[in-house]
């Protein structure tokens, strides 16, 4: 291959962006549910496509709210479009 062909390929690959680095956001919310005599608090994730999944179940609302508030503020999984499905409860 000639040098001009190599330069073109190298230059073209530098400008490619991953589609996952776009503005993909998600939101976590706390819902209460009655199981038998107890009330449990579930953290649910909703992404911008409308996909919903239960992340974790807590016995105390304070713990569930802490997890939801942290993820809503920091958005550590934003690049992936939310928490991966293998983290779902």
**Does residue 48 belong to any structural domain of this protein?**
yes
Q: Say what the pLDDT of residue 29 is.
A: 96
**Does residue 7 belong to any structural domain of this protein?**
no
Helix and strand element counts for the chain (H, E): 2, 3
Q: Say what the pLDDT of residue 44 is.
A: 97
Condensed to tens digits (0 to 9), the pLDDT of residues 9-31 reads 555 555 455 544 556 789 999 99
Number of domains in the chain: 1
Q: Say what the pLDDT of residue 30 is.
A: 97
> What is the rounded distance in angstroms from the CA atom of residue 89 to the CA atom of residue 76?
19
**Does residue 36 belong to any structural domain of this protein?**
yes
pTM over 0.75: no
Condensed to tens digits (0 to 9), the pLDDT of residues 37-64 reads 999 999 999 988 888 999 999 999 999 9
The answer to whether 54 and 42 have CB atoms below 8 angstroms apart is: yes
Which residue range(s) make up the domain with 78?
A: 25-87
* Cβ-Cβ contacts under 8 Å for 46 (sequence gap 6 or more): 26, 27, 28, 29, 52
**Does residue 30 belong to any structural domain of this protein?**
yes
**Does residue 53 belong to any structural domain of this protein?**
yes
């Amino acid at each position: 291959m000639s040098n001009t062909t190599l330069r073109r390929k190298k230059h073209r690959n530098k400008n490619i962006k991953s589609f996952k680095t776009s503005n993909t956001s998600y939101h976590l919310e706390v819902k209460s549910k009655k199981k038998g005599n107890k009330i449990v608090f579930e953290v649910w994730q909703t992404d911008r496509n409308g996909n919903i999944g239960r992340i974790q179940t807590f016995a105390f609302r304070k713990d569930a709210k802490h997890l939801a508030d942290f993820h809503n503020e920091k958005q550590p999984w934003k690049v992936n479009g939310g928490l991966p499905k293998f983290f779902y409860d």
